[in-house]
Amino acid sequence: MSADRLLLTLSDSSDSSDGHSRIEILNTGGYRSDGRRQYELRTISIDLSPQGSGADGSASLTHGLTQVNVCVFGPREAKMRSQTYHDRANVNIEVAIAAFSASERRKRGRGDKRILELSQTLKSTFEPVIQTSLYPRSQIDIYIQVLQQDGGLLQACVNATTLALANAGIPTYDFVCAVTGGVHSTSPLLDLTLLEENDLPNVTVAVMPRSGKITLVSMETRLHVDRFEEIFRLAGEAGKVIHREMRKAVKDRTEQLVASMQSVGRPSTGADVGDNEY
């Protein structure tokens, strides 16, 4: 009964211009609009098989309905000598959002400020994580293609990039795992869909799971300081859960590769996959 009243008051507000009926974010039974519970994350599917085109590493990741593909090239010779650093590699990230990825078709050009900001954020997130000092005067190119958007875009890009780098064999200090969090009146929610992102204050947090340190925080909506603290800590912990999934995917892939190497008749190198604590 109280849920009906909630629906009634929400539909009175005049700012919803697209005409669809208001869906409640969290009902009294504790279920969200897509049937998840408060702290439940969406289904993650990871595909690390090569995507043709000779990329050195690639990954395709989905969080529920958000799908992102990443290809990594490098370290390779830089296209422009002026962009190189004499003591480390230059990390170059380019993001392309497909016009069909959102519910309304919208073509975004290269110079779109939101896309530029996204690339910059990702670049400064991964520059300290990749061991760039091993490859001076070279360039590592990371190309991100967004195929479907249903909330958590930055989160998906960060996770997919981490996987693609691991797939390419580029040495990194740790994984970077990102997750979004939001607050609905006083209840925190995790891994928001597009609907929830548009309605609730939300924050994207990326952590390095081994040390628990935070490497990226991005919040663009108004939130009280006390609420922020709560959701910030929660998102940090949730990052570790995502790490488990990512680690499993990388491990499975590596085991697959090792198995296929051994079946060709090469002598095994003596180091077992399962030995590594990583």
Partner 1 sequence: MRPPSPSIPEKEFLFSALKQGLRLDGREFFETRPVTLTFGPELGWVECSLGQTRVLAQVDAKMIKPPPERPFEGVISIHSEISPMASSEFELGRPSEEEVTITRMLDKVIRRSDVVDKESLCILAGQRVWHLRLNVHCLSDSGNLLDCACLAGIVALKHFRRPDVEVIGEEVTVHHPTSRAPIPLSLHHNLYCFTFAFFSDTSIHPVLDPNHLEQRLNGGLISIALNAHRELCVVQKSGGVPLEPADVLRIVNVAVQKAKDLDVIVESRLREDWEGRKVEVR
Q: Contact residues for partner 1 (CB under 8 A)?
A: 14, 17, 82, 111, 113-114, 116-117, 120-128, 203, 207-208, 211-226, 228-229, 232-233, 236
Establish whether the linkage from the previous residue to 75 is cis, with ω within 30° of 0: yes
Closest CB to partner 1 among 67 and 155? Answer: 155
Question: In a 3-state reduction of DSSP, which class is residue 167?
Answer: helix
Q: Between the CA of residue 173 and those of 39, 75, 127, 129, 179, what are the distances in Å?
A: 28, 16, 11, 6, 19
Shortest distance in whole angstroms from residue 257 CB to partner 1 = 30
Shortest distance in whole angstroms from residue 164 CB to partner 1 = 17
Rounded CA separation 175/207 (Å)? 8
Shortest distance in whole angstroms from residue 231 CB to partner 1 = 11
Q: Which amino acid is at 220?
A: E
Do 235 and 205 contact (CB within 8 A), yes or no? yes
Shortest distance in whole angstroms from residue 24 CB to partner 1 = 23
Closest CB to partner 1 among 48 and 140? Answer: 140
Q: Which amino acid is at 7?
A: L
* Phi, psi angle pair for 229, to nearest 5°: -55, -45
Closest CB to partner 1 among 48 and 97? Answer: 97
Closest CB to partner 1 among 75 and 209? Answer: 209
Shortest distance in whole angstroms from residue 27 CB to partner 1 = 27
Closest CB to partner 1 among 48 and 122? Answer: 122
State the sign of the Cα–Cα–Cα–Cα dihedral 170, 258, 178, 207: negative
Closest CB to partner 1 among 46 and 216? Answer: 216
Nearest to 61 by CA among 129, 157, 125: 157
Do 218 and 135 contact (CB within 8 A), yes or no? no
Question: In a 3-state reduction of DSSP, which class is residue 134?
Answer: helix
What length does the chain have?
A: 278
Q: Which amino acid is at 230?
A: E
Shortest distance in whole angstroms from residue 159 CB to partner 1 = 15
